[in-house]
């Protein structure tokens, strides 16, 4: 239930007073707006005002609000997780063991594992059960501080099952306080029944699935897995052009497994984001540098699959906008814990804590096309807020990577998690 809330004695607010002309880039990522010794007033689900404690609202005005004392605590925006596959059936822990035993991601996929394993499970699962499983995961990530989710289809790979996934995503949007954006990812893989006739599956994508998705208004974006063993640049272009014709803005899975040309294709078609980028060289960097496309990096997948590290410091040096996301999925990143993603980005990729927070909040909002609604602590925006536990500094938040440092989560003015409950 939405409440009018007044948070006082905040040690410091981070990610406030953001520019409105685009995501933060380069050195600006390490200098997000900060307000020490602060208060925030929340009314009807939105941030009404904020300020320094010396200007705290008068007693008679404050009496209308539920008071939260945040002494010693920091306030940051709720995370904007701009790349997830959180709607899926079952789990794939056997593949976890296979990887430990030495099989590669590509070898598991060739043997019918990977994405096609999840496809088989999802097709056998009812829409109601699929929603039930996804809702439990969504509740978990909300309590871990996520306030916005991009959710992809891509485990159906047939007209009826892709639509089933997208209807579940729509239902999650209707039944949770999260900001949710849906992405149609019918081009996630070639399903088993079309292995010998991939062109027929692409025809179904172009002339059946995309029109059906658009006619029901089930997706905001279209995505293609443009990589070795999945979809070629030529196939990707055909799919993206059809999606654009139906009003779906492109996103792309690119360069996870090889130098696929996916980054350049994404830039060519004005993709909002290109995602993964574990294999990024000079040509990819130059294409991104000359574009407005956001590089969405997925530290959970990189860590879980032992993939090469993307050249993050070079991206920042070149002023390429970066977002961090979880890639929450059953095969290569079975976690939606964005605090952990921040820690991995700091530890493995040498991102500064402030850079990682920027990438996981306001830049994530830009990567979902919702920067006017969420991603920063500013008057008029949704009250999507994390109150941390008492900490010696904000840098302690990603440093203590295994500690639960989230005290309270407020989404749209609703307290969805509290250490006091």
> What does 79-105 look like in DSSP terms, one character per residue?
EEEEEE-----S--HHHHHHHHTT--H
The residue among 329, 344, 367 that closes a domain is 367
Q: What is the CATH number of the domain that holds 37?
A: 2.30.40.10
Averaged pLDDT in 10-residue chunks for the chain of 421 residues: 93 91 96 96 97 92 92 98 98 92 83 88 98 98 98 98 98 98 98 96 98 98 96 98 98 97 98 98 98 98 95 98 98 97 98 98 98 97 98 98 98 92 47
Q: What is the DSSP string of 304-347?
A: HHTPPPP-HHHHHHTT--EEE----BTTTB----HHHHHHHHHH
Statement to judge: residues 84 and 157 lie in one domain: yes
Statement to judge: residues 285 and 358 lie in one domain: yes
Which pLDDT tens digit goes with each residue over 185-218? 999 999 999 999 999 999 999 999 999 999 999 9
pTM: 0.97
CB 184 within 8 A of CB 210: yes
Residue 35, domain extent: 5-77+376-418
Q: How far apart are CA 208 and CA 162, in angstroms?
A: 11
pLDDT given at position 61? 83
The secondary structure element, H or E, covering residue 5 is strand 5-14
pLDDT given at position 105? 74
Statement to judge: residues 169 and 156 lie in one domain: yes
Statement to judge: residues 186 and 331 lie in one domain: yes
Statement to judge: residues 227 and 189 lie in one domain: yes
Residue 217 burial (CB < 10 Å; 0-12/13-18/19+)? exposed
Q: How far apart are CA 227 and CA 345, in angstroms?
A: 23
Statement to judge: residues 182 and 312 lie in one domain: yes
| First CA to last CA distance, the chain | 15
Helices (H), 176-311: 198-204, 210-215, 233-245, 262-268, 282-289, 299-305
Angle, CA 70 vertex, CA 68 and CA 73 arms, to 5°: 155
Q: What is the CATH number of the domain that holds 118?
A: 3.20.20.140
pLDDT given at position 108? 85
Statement to judge: residues 234 and 277 lie in one domain: yes
Give the count of domains, the chain: 2
Statement to judge: residues 65 and 17 lie in one domain: yes
pLDDT given at position 420? 61
Statement to judge: residues 93 and 45 lie in one domain: no
Statement to judge: residues 176 and 202 lie in one domain: yes
Q: How far apart are CA 53 and CA 195, in angstroms?
A: 64
Statement to judge: residues 109 and 226 lie in one domain: yes
Q: Which residues contact 80 (CB under 8 A, 6 or more apart)?
A: 146, 147, 148, 179, 323, 360, 361, 362, 363, 364, 365, 367, 368, 370, 374, 375
Residue 128's DSSP bridge partners are none
- The closest alpha carbon to 328, from 291, 286, 299, belongs to 299
Statement to judge: residues 318 and 186 lie in one domain: yes
Q: How far apart are CA 159 and CA 191, in angstroms?
A: 12
Residue with tokens 């279209």: 222
């Amino acid at each position: 239930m939405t409440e009018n809330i007044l948070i006082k004695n905040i040690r410091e607010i981070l990610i406030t007073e953001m520019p409105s002309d685009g995501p933060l880039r380069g050195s600006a990522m390490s200098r997000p707006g900060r307000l020490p010794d602060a208060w925030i007033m929340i009314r009807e689900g939105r941030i009404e005002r904020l300020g320094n404690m010396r200007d705290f609202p008068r007693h008679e005005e404050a009496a209308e609000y539920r008071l939260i004392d945040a002494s010693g605590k920091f306030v940051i925006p709720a995370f904007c997780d701009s790349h997830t596959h959180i709607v899926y059936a079952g789990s794939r822990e056997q593949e976890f063991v296979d990887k430990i035993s030495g099989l590669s991601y590509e070898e598991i996929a060739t043997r019918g594992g990977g994405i096609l394993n999840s496809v088989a499970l999802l097709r056998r699962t009812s829409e109601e059960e699929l929603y039930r499983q996804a809702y439990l995961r969504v509740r978990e990530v909300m309590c871990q501080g996520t306030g916005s989710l991009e959710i992809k289809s891509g485990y159906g790979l047939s007209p009826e099952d892709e639509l089933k996934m997208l209807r579940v995503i729509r239902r999650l949007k209707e039944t949770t306080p999260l900001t949710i954006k849906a992405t149609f990812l019918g081009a996630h893989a070639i399903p088993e029944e079309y292995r010998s006739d991939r062109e027929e599956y692409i025809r179904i994508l172009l002339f059946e699935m995309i029109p059906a998705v658009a006619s029901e208004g089930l997706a905001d974006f279209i995505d293609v897995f443009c990589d070795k063993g999945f979809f070629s640049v030529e196939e990707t272009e055909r799919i993206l052009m059809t999606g654009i014709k139906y009003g779906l803005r492109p996103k792309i899975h690119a360069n996870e497994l090889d130098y696929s040309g996916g980054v350049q294709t994404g830039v060519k078609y004005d993709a909002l984001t290109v995602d993964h980028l574990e294999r990024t060289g000079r040509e990819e960097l130059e294409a991104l540098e000359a574009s407005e496309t956001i590089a969405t990096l997925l530290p959970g997948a990189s860590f879980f699959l032992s993939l090469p590290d993307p050249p993050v410091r070079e991206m920042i040096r070149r002023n390429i906008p970066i977002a961090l996301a979880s890639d929450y999925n059953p095969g290569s990143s079975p976690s939606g814990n964005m605090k952990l993603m921040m820690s991995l980005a700091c530890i493995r990729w040498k991102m500064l804590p402030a850079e990682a927070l920027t990438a996981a909040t306001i830049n994530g909002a830009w990567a979902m096309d919702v920067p006017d609604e969420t991603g920063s602590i500013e008057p008029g925006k949704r009250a999507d807020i994390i109150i941390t536990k008492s900490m010696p500094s904000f840098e302690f938040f990603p440093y203590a990577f295994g500690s639960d440092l989230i005290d309270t989560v407020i989404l749209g003015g609703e307290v969805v998690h509290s250490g006091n409950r």
